[in-house]
Amino acid sequence: MSKVIYPWFKREDIDGFFALFQNNLANFVLIAVSMMSMGFPGSIVYGRVIPGAAISVLFGNLYYAHMAKRLALKENRTDVTALSYGISTPVMFIYLFGVLSPALALTGDAEMAWKIGMAACFIGGAIEALGSVIGKWVRDNLPRAAMLGPLAGVAFALIGGELFFKTYEMPIIGMIVLSIILIGLVAKKAMPFRIPASLFAIVVGTVLAYTIGKVDPSQISEGMNTFGFYLPIPTFGFLQGISYLMGPMLSLFAVLLPISIYNFIETMNNVEAMASAGDNYNVQEAQLFDGIGTMVGCIFGGVFPTTVYIASIGSKWMNAGRGYSVLNGIVFLVASTFGIIAAMSKIIPLPVIAPILVFVGISMVSQAFSSVKPKHYPAVVIAMFPAFANYIMTRFNARAGEVVAGVSPAIVPLGQGAMFSGLLWAAILVFILDNEYNKAAYAALAAVVLAATGFMHAPKLSFLYNYEYALGYFIMGAMFMGFHIFLKDKLVAEGKLEENVILEMND
């Protein structure tokens, strides 16, 4: 059988490119607005942070295009979609308000705070790369619903949900753009003149926003003024930042360790999602090069970790190949170098970009359900609840803590370590549904460890910050083990245990 020719670029890559580029652009709009409002100057935001991230994005997208080619040749098919790569939205918010903001408050020096951010990002990348050591074991031993469920929660609350709100900030524009996205990307209907749906939606939405006066035309001139030359320049300023992390800001490790672990779990989950859609990549290799890509970006001034992006499934649904990934990396570098990203962040209204991310949220939640057995649907649902708590906590608790506590004092602790909580609850429920109560007990024991050490239900790493959570999980584990011991004979007799479990008991 002759080997297939895997194309560098095909028509579907155009839609994939615009979706991925806009995903990254939306994050950088938020980064620029947030950092400038904190007090970071444009020379750092547009001159160092964004170019550094562009280098990271270029590195990762080129590597994942290479992985896609290897998979296409290995399986002798041309319908392989490269993994998407970019900045994780939840991680981005943690670094903005959990690292950069306190670093600036402590030092009062924007440049030093930026160096601390680089150091934190470099260490986060190293932790993510080390995650590749255990990545395959985790993937092989965790139920698919446990890996995809928490991701569906993030997609529902932080991406699809929040960006749906942004869509309605300009109702006329947002509704029209979202309708185009739903017709073109969900229903897969051709746009006029066969223009890619993403591009068509952006052009229509932007023109309409200025035409009906929803955006001040001065935004265009402000955007034009941001054009310039922001060449990515290597820097070892992160080494100076590490000295701060080892001294006055040692407490930041309580943020860095869990969020870095979250990041490599997110990569694992997204790789698993792509496997469920037909493209089975090596999760360890992806985790390793996510970490390397993050560290490369830090050397050029980046302060945000990168990961296999949640938009991978959206690109798969578009039938994109590898060209969208390569083009995204190149265009993103050019756009950051010449200030185009800065200009676009000023000119294109966020409600025009938002519907594309709503599509990503739709595709990810849909993929989570379509990729698991129907009897495991409840596990996907329960995994989504902690992400909802995390959304409320991160968006409202700092400014309206009394209101959040008035709704329920459990929202904040449930939102802390939400990825771990969702993953473990989904795993427990899958094992219960499969009558594997011993495995449910082991998952509960893992929850005891994470709760006792502060990875879950605590604002920082500490031993028994609130003992009740660890004790609750311990009692659950004991109960599950009791079910396993007292019910196993009945379950074996009824043929309701998996074959490998039966064999283990016979041994």
Residue 369: band (very low, low, confident or very high) from pLDDT cuts 50, 70, 90: very high
Average pLDDT over all residues of the chain? 86
Q: 418 near 373, Cβ under 8 Å? A: no
Give residue 441's identity as a one-letter amino acid code: A
Q: 315 near 273, Cβ under 8 Å? A: no
Question: 88, 87, 81: which is closest to 64 by C-alpha?
Answer: 81
The confidence score (pLDDT) of residue 500 equals 40
Instruction: Tell me the average pLDDT across 423-432.
Output: 95
Segments in 97-249 forming alpha helices (H): 101-107, 110-130, 132-141, 144-154, 162-167, 171-181, 197-211, 218-224, 237-245
**What is the C-alpha to C-alpha distance for residues 303 and 28, in angstroms, rounded to an integer?**
12
Question: 306, 199, 254, 242: which is closest to 416 by C-alpha?
Answer: 254
The confidence score (pLDDT) of residue 179 equals 96
pLDDT digits 0-9 by tens, 55-108: 999 999 999 999 999 999 999 998 999 998 888 776 787 788 778 888 888 888
Q: 83 near 271, Cβ under 8 Å? A: yes
Percent of the chain scoring above 90 in pLDDT: 41
- Which positions ≥6 away from 312 have C-beta within 8 Å? 81, 83, 84, 270, 273, 274
Question: 300, 398, 459, 416: which is closest to 97 by C-alpha?
Answer: 398
Q: Which residue is listed with tokens 């968006």?
A: 395
| pLDDT at residue 111 is higher than 90 | yes
Cα 109 → chain centroid: 30
| pLDDT at residue 501 is higher than 70 | no
The confidence score (pLDDT) of residue 247 equals 73
Dihedral angle computed from the Cα positions of residues 162, 167, 169 and 170, in that order, rounded to the nearest 10 degrees? 180
Q: Interhelix angle for 418-433 vs 437-453, to 10°? A: 170
Question: Backbone dihedral region of 414: left (phi > 0), alpha (psi from -120 to 50 degrees) or beta?
Answer: alpha
**Six token digits for residue 289:** 């090069």
What DSSP assignment string belongs to 376-388? GHHHHHHHHHHHH
Residue 502: band (very low, low, confident or very high) from pLDDT cuts 50, 70, 90: very low
Q: 19 near 86, Cβ under 8 Å? A: no
**What is the C-alpha to C-alpha distance for residues 118 and 195, in angstroms, rounded to an integer?**
40
Q: Is the pTM of this model over 0.85?
A: no
Q: Write down how long the chain is.
A: 507
Domain boundaries defined on the chain: 17-137+216-354, 413-506
> Using H for helix, E for strand and C for coil, what is the string for 225-291?
CCCCCCCCCCCCHHHHHHHHHCCCCHHHHHHHHHHHHHHHHHHHHHHHHHHHCCCCCCHHHHHHHHH
Helix (H, G, I), strand (E, B) or coil at 500: helix
The confidence score (pLDDT) of residue 173 equals 95
The confidence score (pLDDT) of residue 258 equals 64
The confidence score (pLDDT) of residue 499 equals 41
Q: Which residue is listed with tokens 């004979």?
A: 489
The confidence score (pLDDT) of residue 492 equals 63
pLDDT digits 0-9 by tens, 171-191: 999 999 999 999 998 898 988
Residue 431: band (very low, low, confident or very high) from pLDDT cuts 50, 70, 90: very high
**Six token digits for residue 430:** 């899958």
> Residue 325: how many CA atoms within 13 Å on its side-chain side?
32
Instruction: Tell me the average pLDDT across 228-243.
Output: 88
**What is the C-alpha to C-alpha distance for residues 355 and 341, in angstroms, rounded to an integer?**
19
Q: Who has greater pLDDT, 473 or 6?
A: 473
The confidence score (pLDDT) of residue 254 equals 60
